[in-house]
Amino acid sequence: MALILQSFETIDQASAALNATGTRYLGGGTLVVRAASEGDLSFSSYVCSTDPALTRIWTKDGSVHLGAGVTMAAIARNEELAPLAKAARAVGGPAVRNMATVGGNLFAPAPYGDFAVALVALDATVETGGRQIRIDEFLIGRDAIKSIVTGVTFAMPAAGVFRFVKISRTKPKGVSVLSIATLIETDTSGVIKSARIALGCMADRPIRAKAAEEALIGATLTAEGITPAVAAVSRGIDPITDPIASAWYRGEVLPVHFRRLLLG
């Protein structure tokens, strides 16, 4: 059966249309059109919005706002967002990055959603239905979200505080074996004050490595200092198995890449 596209000028109009059964919000198309082409019959109507607020990027007083319709390519080429460029470029090839959006990435099932892993480390706030939800909470409840995600907001990390790595088996681009994002602040003597660590492919969606975060507090970023955190990073993980890698393999290589990221 053919699908219908309903396009609206404002987010509010699109939100109202999404209340009807059989509708799915269409962002960049890399997840939703693909699902339709693969035979997903759970929706019969695409709903999209051309509201310019969705593609807006602003930075103010150290705070960054990305509209949900901002593409990975727009982030990667924005000089003000340089710390995020690596995470944005980790998504797809050039054509996919011209289409894939911030909002879509928040809903991408593992092994996709590498940019959302970065947003978890950055402790982003997700705006949806007029509410501001912390990303950890948003991801847990995302399957039940009915309202349109309109954007994310987070504090721009200081230089060197944010790190990101995506591991693929093919170069330069491939589906994720895993991805890791860290936001680690140290005091002037190099002792870690705070740490947020996010992991991709270690569950069906991005998760935090809270045991490793705790193990890093008070430590230094040295081979010896990070040993307890490396030992703890796999605690509570439930990696996915797919044609790229088994859950066992992902679990085995996670501490190796985590160690390299911290010492790199």
Judged by CB under 8 A, which stretch of 1-9, 53-61, 129-137, 207-215 contacts another protein?
1-9
User: CA-to-CA distance for 21 and 24, rounded, in angstroms?
Assistant: 9
Q: Which residues lie closer than 8 Å to 135 by C-beta, 6 or more apart?
A: 106, 116, 119, 120, 123, 124, 125, 126, 152
Q: Which of 91, 88, 103 is nearest to 51 (CA)?
A: 103
User: CA-to-CA distance for 139 and 113, rounded, in angstroms?
Assistant: 11
CA neighbours closer than 13 Å in the CB half-sphere of residue 179: 30
Q: Which is nearer to another protein, 29 or 255 (CB)?
A: 29
CA distance to 127, 128, 199, 212, 233, per residue, from 237 (Å): 27, 28, 9, 12, 8
Judged by CB under 8 A, which stretch of 25-33, 55-63, 185-193, 249-257 contacts another protein?
25-33
Rule CB under 8 A: choose which of 11, 14, 18, 48 binds another protein: 48
Rule CB under 8 A: choose which of 8, 13, 17, 36 binds another protein: 36
Q: Which is nearer to another protein, 43 or 154 (CB)?
A: 43
CB 167 within 8 A of CB 176: yes
Using CB under 8 A as the criterion, what x/- string covers residues 91-120 for binding another protein? Answer: -xxxxx-xx---------------------
Judged by CB under 8 A, which stretch of 17-25, 36-44, 141-149, 233-241 contacts another protein?
36-44
Considering the complex, what minimum distance in angstroms separates the CB of residue 94 from another protein?
Answer: 5
Considering the complex, what minimum distance in angstroms separates the CB of residue 24 from another protein?
Answer: 11
Judged by CB under 8 A, which stretch of 21-29, 147-155, 210-218, 221-229 contacts another protein?
21-29
Rule CB under 8 A: choose which of 15, 24, 25, 46 binds another protein: 46
Considering the complex, what minimum distance in angstroms separates the CB of residue 38 from another protein?
Answer: 7
E strands, the chain, in order? 4-8, 23-25, 45-49, 57-60, 63-67, 125-128, 131-134, 149-155, 162-168, 176-186, 192-200, 207-208
User: CA-to-CA distance for 252 and 237, rounded, in angstroms?
Assistant: 11
Considering the complex, what minimum distance in angstroms separates the CB of residue 218 from another protein?
Answer: 40
Site for another protein in 137-196 (CB under 8 A): 172-173
Kindly compute the dihedral angle of the four CA atoms of residues 145, 99, 258, 176, in this order, to the nearest 10 degrees: 90
Residues forming contacts to another protein in the complex (CB under 8 A) are 1-5, 7, 26, 28-30, 33-34, 36-38, 46, 48, 73, 92-96, 98-99, 172-173
